[in-house]
Structure 1
Amino acid sequence: MSDTSTYHPSLDDPNVFVLYRYHPTRAGAIIFIVAFFLTTALHGYQIVSHRTWYFLPLLVGGIFEIIGYVGRVLSSYDQWALGPYIMQSLLLLVAPALFAASVYMILGRIILLVGGEELALVPRRWLTKVFVMGDVLSFCLQGAGGGIQAIGTLSSLNTGEKIIIVGLFVQIVFFGFFIVVAGSFHLRFTRHNQRKQIMTPTFTATTTTMTTIPWKKHLYALYIASALVMIRSIFRVVEYLMGNNGYLLRHEHFLYVFDATLMFGVMVLFNVVHPSEVTTVYKDNNRYSVPLEAREMMVSTMTRRDSGCSGRSCRSLV
């Protein structure tokens, strides 16, 4: 129980730094604790069952979201307690950086899947490294800013705020460049194939069939997830730039609309369009290292063989 004899400034006083400019709602936090728990638990099952261990950052991000909203529940009992405030502020701040790391890893696997390494703006061997390093830098800056704020003094709160803003700008810059790289690859790959659907054989124990590579579906999922994370990051930058007494920090519903809902949307999106399809459709067939031209030639050869033609009679098929 908080000490009622302790002096607390007015929530509307623009000349002081207060933890919350409103009374934190308990119901909203509980709703998102349940929501994030359900989608995070499903991601845990999907990661284990499909062995998509590279998607663990998203799972950890989901756990951060859950704990963060637990912090907001605790703050609803005592909004002047520094511990719960730092818990929710720091974890809700850095969780999307972990979501971004997972998004970065998916693009490299899509490029591998279709054998389009030569069409990527950034070489595939550097693709994940560059963006994950940028994400780690952003994560560390935001974490450091939150850690400095945990000291609890007015100067530390202001200094931490500035470092967090730098971390958020780093995240936006790298994420913006990532969207450009993804869009550029999409455009180049589509032009290269002249809008034709890419086909490749899938081998089973008894039969050989043809299946469509689902690269477009997963690339569109990346676009949606990227847009959600970008909107949330811009919101956070504006929130911090407006200051402790800014309009966004004085109204709690903005946090739930532009952060909680958007990040929940990212997690649900990848529950539905799970990247395991990208890494398992052809993993057993060792197709990742097949260049695009060799893949097209292989498909053409199989089409001729299955059509029962040979020599000049098959020229019309290529």
Structure 2
Amino acid sequence: MPLPSHISFYKYDPSEAVAAVAAALFGIAFVWSTFMTIRKRAWIWIVQVLAIFMEVLGYADRIKSAGDPTNLNLYAVQFCVIILAPVLMAAAIYVVFGRIVVHVVPAQQRTTKLLWVPPRWITPIFVAFDVIALVVQLIGAILVSTTQATDKNAANKLNMGKNIAVAGLAIQIAAFGLFTIVAARFHFTSRQFEASLQSRYEDGGSGSAVFVKGSSRKINPNWRRLLYAINFSCGFVLIRSVFRVVEFAGGNNGAVMQQEWFMYVFDTLPIFLVVCSFCFMFPSSYIPHMSFRVPKHPSGARELESQDEPTIGLREVEN
């Protein structure tokens, strides 16, 4: 049975103008991120580019949905896409942190004691939880967004969809919360070997990548700046995830569902700040080899034999 034309899927009057601003801002970020990904050949960052594109698509669709709030298809697309995009962003953050560990932490200090997680399993473990959270949230989002008021057992379907979505968000919060603690702790514990690394730099010139004695890995002397982007982004993603849990838990009659500004303040803004963090501090400017596989012998390294230990040459990073 078709939904009556006077029934809106929103509990408020959605703004086309605000949705257009959000779409435009994410659109600019998408263009810049795509350009940098191609320029730096940071192919693993395609995950983040796809997530930003999903935000653009979601808010562009929301403009149409705001003009036709009784259209189920328009509402479902914007709802699902905006809900799921941050899950991909979390996966991108996991990958970047894993690459920092590989390229920065000396092999002898790359331990579970330092990171609380087996170093070689950092990315696989957290990405696996991210995929599970993505699938569960997708199922919940589809149930919620496609249930019409006139459907048989509509109330049960909505409750089931919300419970499933909350379960997916809970998985994401648990995994991402642990990761946030690990990343924040690493920001401080990394100082244990930072001084040692600096003393072994072939050249500590700003804006360049250096190789250190006894290592075959390239390091940007300013690599710690990327940790700030990771830690800030973790905080923003957690704020957004907690907001969504509160939103689903409150239901259609909850205060969060009744006001549109909640979504823009606690979802749109935090996620846009995540995107901006990595636009300003693009990962490939700080760590090498953002391709899908990390080479065993990074290109550009040339070992010079010495009596004590090999000294690896300096190579300028392309900006």
Q: Indicate yes or no: 2:166 matched with 1:142.
A: no
Structure of greater Rg: 1
1:29 Cα deviation from its structure 2 partner: 0.5
Aligned-partner Cα distance in 2 for 1:209–1:191: 19
Q: 2:16 aligns with which of 23, 26, 32?
A: 26
Q: Structure 1 length normalisation: TM-score?
A: 0.79
Q: How many residues align?
A: 277
1:214 Cα deviation from its structure 2 partner: 2.1
1:193 Cα deviation from its structure 2 partner: 4.7
Aligned CA distance change for structure 1 residues 284 and 202 (closer, same or farther; 3 Å) = farther
* Deviations, residues 288-310 of structure 1 (Å, cap 9, x unaligned): xxxxxxxxx969x89xxxxxxxx
Unaligned runs of 5+ in 2: 205-209, 213-218, 290-296, 303-307, 313-319
1:123 Cα deviation from its structure 2 partner: 2.1
Aligned CA distance change for structure 1 residues 30 and 151 (closer, same or farther; 3 Å) = same
Q: Aligned-residue CA RMSD in angstroms?
A: 2.8
Aligned CA distance change for structure 1 residues 112 and 77 (closer, same or farther; 3 Å) = same
1:197 Cα deviation from its structure 2 partner: 4.2
Q: Indicate yes or no: 2:4 matched with 1:6.
A: yes
Q: Structure 2 length normalisation: TM-score?
A: 0.79
* Deviations, residues 127-152 of structure 1 (Å, cap 9, x unaligned): 00000001101110111112223253
Unaligned runs of 5+ in 1: 10-17, 288-296, 303-318
The residue number in structure 2 matching 1:120 is: 115
The residue number in structure 2 matching 1:59 is: 49
Q: 1:271 aligns with which of 279, 290, 293?
A: 279
The residue number in structure 2 matching 1:180 is: 181
Aligned-partner Cα distance in 2 for 1:185–1:226: 13
* Deviations, residues 215-268 of structure 1 (Å, cap 9, x unaligned): 210111100111111111111111111111111110001111111111111111
Asked whether the equivalents of residues 136 and 164 of structure 2 are also in contact (C-alpha less than 8 Å), the reply is: yes
Structure 1 residue runs of 4 or more that deviate by more than 4 Å after TM superposition: 192-199, 208-212
Aligned-partner Cα distance in 2 for 1:97–1:23: 27
What one-letter code is carried by the residue in structure 2 that aligns with 1:105?
V
Q: Provide the secondary structure at the position in 1 that maps to 2:257.
A: coil
Aligned CA distance change for structure 1 residues 147 and 99 (closer, same or farther; 3 Å) = same
Fraction of identical pairs, as percent: 31
The residue number in structure 1 matching 2:242 is: 234
1:192 Cα deviation from its structure 2 partner: 4.2
The residue number in structure 1 matching 2:171 is: 170
Asked whether the equivalents of residues 225 and 266 of structure 1 are also in contact (C-alpha less than 8 Å), the reply is: yes
Aligned-partner Cα distance in 1 for 2:4–2:245: 33
Asked whether the equivalents of residues 65 and 91 of structure 1 are also in contact (C-alpha less than 8 Å), the reply is: yes
* Deviations, residues 5-41 of structure 1 (Å, cap 9, x unaligned): 93646xxxxxxxx621101100000111111111011
Aligned-partner Cα distance in 1 for 2:280–2:221: 17
